[in-house]
Amino acid sequence: MDPREVIQGVLEIVGQLAEQHEVTLTYDLQAGLPVIYGSRTLLRQVFLNALSQLITQPGSQQIHLRISHERQRVVVVLTAEFAPSRIEGEAHSQKLGLEPVQRLVKMMRGNWQAFELKDHGWSYRFDFPVGVEKVLLVVEDNEAVIQAFRRYLAEYSYQVVGATTGTEALRLAHEMSPTMITLDVMMPGQDGWEILHALKHDLATQHIPVIICSVLEDPELARSLGAAAYLRKPVVQADLLTTLDRVVSAL
């Protein structure tokens, strides 16, 4: 998604709110911002929630939004100035009701910081990663599991591609060169061990990290055959995300 398009849509909505509360709302959007992978709905809620909370705070006077591209991150700086009587004694940004925004930013794998300004205000800095979308090839004969992985990763920077047979998995691995592969052991025809052996003995695919997903408890065999990680079925979202992050960080 294009962050400029998302922000401009949000500003049209909150602009009327700022006028009603007599708050000056300004913004500076850098040209040529890169795309962000993730949930457009979540990104909209980050800005809608943050801006509406700050606009409606008693004593709110001026809010400035700046968005730029720095070191493979889209960086957002949101500065809010309040009347002196409002900000006096405030010790933490949580008192401004922005905890939900922080959680949304983290859900999009962003970082969040808050700084108190000397002249009666707060500055919030948060950023989101940019880059190419990661492709996960899910080798699984159960379509319901493939759909579950798509739901788990819908709001993260992954494109999930499914393969229900060994032949299809090997073909897609050649054609797409996915970032990673999750591989079920109990596959019809060729089992997962045979598929893993074929992947690791092919110069075109041996570099692709493979995560074995199985109801069987045999991580040592998986590692001996070249698997990067092992997940015990049923796979839950938290374990999948943790494992994918660990494998990606090692690339």
Beta bridge partners of 116: 122
Q: Where in the chain is the domain with CATH 3.30.565.10?
A: 3-129
Kindly report which listed range (68-72, 200-204, 232-236) carries the lowest average pLDDT score. Answer: 68-72
> What angle, rounded to 10 degrees, do the helices at 40-55 and 99-107 form?
160
pTM of the model: 0.56
pLDDT at 118: 65
Q: Where in the chain is the domain with CATH 3.40.50.2300?
A: 134-249
Average of pLDDT values for 73-102? Answer: 73
For the segment(s) 134-249, the CATH number from 3.40.720.10, 3.40.50.150, 3.10.129.10, 3.40.50.2300 is: 3.40.50.2300
pLDDT band, residue 93 (cuts 50/70/90): very low
Residue 209 has a CB neighbour count (10 Å cut-off) of 19
Residue type, 198: A
Nearest to 185 by CA among 230, 137, 242, 244: 230
Q: What is the mean pLDDT of the chain?
A: 88
pLDDT band, residue 103 (cuts 50/70/90): confident
157 backbone dihedrals φ, ψ, rounded to 5°: -85, 60
Residue 87: pLDDT over 60: no
Residues 6 or more apart in contact with residue 34 via CB below 8 angstroms: 69, 74, 130
Average of pLDDT values for 141-168? Answer: 91
pLDDT at 90: 44
pLDDT at 227: 96
pLDDT band, residue 92 (cuts 50/70/90): very low
pLDDT band, residue 71 (cuts 50/70/90): confident
pLDDT band, residue 59 (cuts 50/70/90): confident
- Residue reference for tokens 């796979």: 235
H or E element in which residue 7 lies: helix 3-20
183 is written with which tokens? 């591989």
Average of pLDDT values for 74-82? Answer: 92
CATH of domain 3-129: 3.30.565.10
- Residue reference for tokens 């109801």: 215
Average of pLDDT values for 154-170? Answer: 89
